[in-house]
Amino acid sequence: MMQDYQAILDDEIWAFLDKTAQFYPPDAVDLTVQEQRAVYDRMCVAFDFGRPDGLRVSDVPFGGVPCRIYESAEDSATTVFFCHGGGFVVGGLDSHDSVCADMCTRTGFKVVAVDYRMSPEHPHPDDFNDAWAAFEAVAASTDGPIVLCGDSAGGNLVAAVAHHARGRIGGRITGQLLIYPGLGGDTTKGSYIEHPEAPGLTTKDIAFYSAIRAGGADKTGDATWAPLHDNDFSDLPATVVLTAQYDPLSSDGAAYRDAVTTHGGKAVWLEEHGLVHGHLRARRMSAKAALSFDRSIASLKALSLGQLPRL
């Protein structure tokens, strides 16, 4: 049954979607990759709210990977290790600059954003290898807690880092916040069939980005490709998965929470009602998106202590 999104989404979210479509059209996957990157970058500029005063921002490589460090006046021992979304094809340090700046200001934590290589020029596992190399270097440079955080494709990458870190340097990670991530869930049920044409992300988009990232290879069973393909969900850090109600990826949040808790871990799934994929950019336009960002900030603070938030 097709959803009437025009009727069920509120005016603020539609204003956000309409503004998005002015720069990044719904049929963007039909453009070339270079054209997609250009329109995505223009869209992100339109939603860039600038950096709050008082931040120290510098571009520094970690593990040979370009990164951007955000530090506030508050000298915190906690580091947020952040990977951006964009389907592993678009986005970068600038696309999520104001998001990282706001996270730094609101938490007081240092934020390190990672400019991992993207497909099709660098198909998987180059993206994961960059995330892991940067994480190892960040972990070696600080003694404090590390909270992993990423949105969409970035949520996939940081979850893969959490899985890979076990038995290596996993004890340094106190938590992970995964914001509307694609984790490799079952595409034949749940939100994948309930919201295949959702505004903001469709199953056609997901298939397009997945095919480009795979580069023609079969990635079944590879946890660095899709964390839900792992066979072992034990010894993972405290986990918050925050999804959007009207997003084909939403069910990945429930599936991942269940996998972690079944193996004795701490995890919570927060489905944000009335929201769509990409709503981080709507946090200054939508009361619902602003509340969701508040929950993200509360989650980061709790996860820095190895705890789940009380929301």
Catalytic residue ranges: 152, 247, 277
Tokens of 118: 């993207």
Task: Count the Cβ atoms, other than its own, within 10 Å of residue 181.
Answer: 29
Query: Residue 241: how many CA atoms within 13 Å on its side-chain side?
Result: 30
Q: With DSSP H G I counted as helix, E B as strand and the rest as coil, what are the percentages for the chain, rounded to 5? A: 40, 15, 40
Query: Residue 16: how many CA atoms within 13 Å on its side-chain side?
Result: 26
- How far is it, in rounded angstroms, from Cα 86 to Cα 80? 19
What are residue 239's phi and psi, to 5 degrees?
-130, 135
- How far is it, in rounded angstroms, from Cα 49 to Cα 205? 27
Tokens of 122: 């660098």
Contact between 119 and 88 (Cβ < 8 Å): yes
Upstream peptide bond of 120 is cis (omega within 30 degrees of 0): yes
